[in-house]
Structure 1
Amino acid sequence: MPQAAQWIPSGDYQLSIGDDGKIIARNKAGKPLKSVPAKVKKADAYLELDQLRDFLARHDIEAGAQVQRWLLDGLPVPAALIGELWADTAWRSWLTDLVIATEDDGALQLHGFLREVTKTDAGVQLGVVDLDGESDTVDAAQVRIPHPVLFGDDLDELREFAVDLGLTQGFDQLQRQVFARPENLAGKGVDTFTDAEFDEIRFVAGRAKTHGFAVQGGYAVCRIIENGLRYQARIWIGEGAPEAMTMLGELIWVHDDVTLALSDVPPVAYSEGMRMATILYAGRKIEKDGDQ
């Protein structure tokens, strides 16, 4: 729930930051204005509030990026840390409604959607809505924010459950596109995407960077940490003159500079590599009807 606005006086007006992140104004009588008067935008109070708004926006982005790294890297998150971060509205907005889990002898145990965090004398209790729709608490020293490919057959049920409860996640843990690795895959690469043509290398390179992937040595690269090991999914996008035509190449996975057999690629690394390739493939040149 949005917090009540904190108003700062500025001459005959008062200023605040609205729920959409924009600076809003009202007069002394408390009547909201459609826009901030031009003369008020030159006042010190406005300039200071504008700087605060920029800081809060950066803080929100950084918090979201870290939460997503916890998911992509499979890192355990101390419950005590979540307890400290929960008071911060930016962190709380990213953490609320994420599916959390613990590990039991290496097996992932899903607990439900994170809804509340309570500090007690004994530590931190994480309040969840479990998979039966009941409220429950998790008492654990650390939890995980699992990648959705690890949910297996529970993923569709979790998605439907979230919709039924009206839960909204800060980022796409549940709605993230996932790819389960088929059994008995042979070879060391996926050539499904090699028919994708781009008029210029810079088009596909720009698409890769826009979606958060690195570009190096002619490859788009997605970096993943899984079970404490570092992997890279790489797909060839071409190198040379940025305006040169190019086509996507084979998608491969690398660990310690060694290309892995597909059967050895772990599930999160496989899913994220396929997701990267699919995103790039969607930006390919499409022939118009009648073109040969």
Structure 2
Amino acid sequence: MAWLTAGEGYEITLEDGRVVARRAGGRQLKSLPKALRDDPEVDRLRRLSEWLDRHTASCLAQVDTWMVSSLPVPTELIARVWPDEAWQSALRDMAVVGDDPDEVGFLRDVSADGELRLVDLDGETVRIAPRTVTLPHPVLLPDLEDVRDFAAELGITQRVEQIHRATWTRADDAHRKEATEVRDYAGGKFASRFGLAARATSLGYRVSGGYATCKVRDGGRVGEASVWIGEPYWEGESETGGLSWHDEDGRAIRLTEVGPVAWSEGMRMAAALYAGRTIEEGGNA
């Protein structure tokens, strides 16, 4: 960002999200001079910085939504937002699938004519321009471990957790046909229900009534995974309960009918809540 004139004999700019100053044409100062702290230009830059932070968070959240839902994203849309640094940072190095679901590549660039430039798993740079692409949830990626190994070789770092996202798969014969609840992560004790609810919200999950919840889209079906965390306003100790899934009408879904993405995301939430439990001295972590 360019240096802007502010006050008498000063220039200001944004650096790593904060306002910095220098004497006109001189070296950058270690701190913002008192004379500039209430300057209108400084205030405008601060508000711009706050907006940029919100914009960056919004871009990351949207890309995360595309990935978790594995919904088709118009290639034209990706090309249109790519010049924006916040969008580019969120999208760069995401694993992308075009018309062939078995052909995975990492998004490195977008050409001026709207083609996506990917590095495939053979290390080759390829260009694709399908009408839509998907940023698949990792549980849907074929040969996920190979994808992770190749990403490590390339030194790929993703702003949105995709290929290194923790995943769970459901064993076909692990549950009774009529079962609707998993208790693998039940019984995690917390000093208070408030602390458990606070952990849920800090992890990005919604707390509704006595449950921590997350919406999941799997194969075109929208549902919700929920973990019991205790009665609202309960002031005593609390513990995590069972994990279950419900459809849009609130009906419980049998475990054998839960899709792979919904299963993985629900188990991920339950495990993350359970990980914050109180560990008694001499107990198992």
TM-score range with shorter-chain normalisation? over 0.9
How far apart are residue 150 of structure 1 and its match? 0.9
Aligned to 1:16: 13
Match of 1:60 among 29, 41, 56: 56
- The one-letter amino acid of 1:28's match is A
Aligned to 2:261: 268
How far apart are residue 178 of structure 1 and its match? 0.9
Change (3 A) 1:161 1:183: same
Change (3 A) 1:36 1:270: same
Change (3 A) 1:16 1:87: same
Asked if residue 281 in structure 1 is aligned to residue 274 in structure 2, the reply is yes
TM-score, length-scaled by structure 1: 0.91
Give unmatched runs, 5+ long, in structure 1: none
Deviates more, 1:71-80 or 1:90-99: 71-80
Q: Residue by residue, what CA displacement relative to the aligned partner does 1:103-134 show, whole Å, maximum 9, x if unpaired?
A: 55xxx2333110111232xxx21001111111
How far apart are residue 241 of structure 1 and its match? 2.7
Aligned to 2:252: 259
Contact 1:198 1:245 in 2 (8 A): yes
Change (3 A) 1:30 1:112: farther
Change (3 A) 1:242 1:22: farther
Match of 2:192 among 193, 200, 206: 200
- The one-letter amino acid of 2:39's match is A
Q: Secondary structure at the match of 1:115?
A: strand
Asked if residue 166 in structure 1 is aligned to residue 158 in structure 2, the reply is no
Aligned residues: 278
Aligned to 1:140: 130
Quick one: distance in 2 between partners of 1:126 and 1:82? 9
Aligned to 1:38: 34
Quick one: distance in 2 between partners of 1:244 and 1:129? 53
Aligned to 1:25: 21
TM-score, length-scaled by structure 2: 0.93
How far apart are residue 30 of structure 1 and its match? 3.3
Give unmatched runs, 5+ long, in structure 2: none
Q: State, as a whole percentage, how many aligned pairs show the same letter.
A: 38
Match of 1:231 among 223, 244, 258: 223
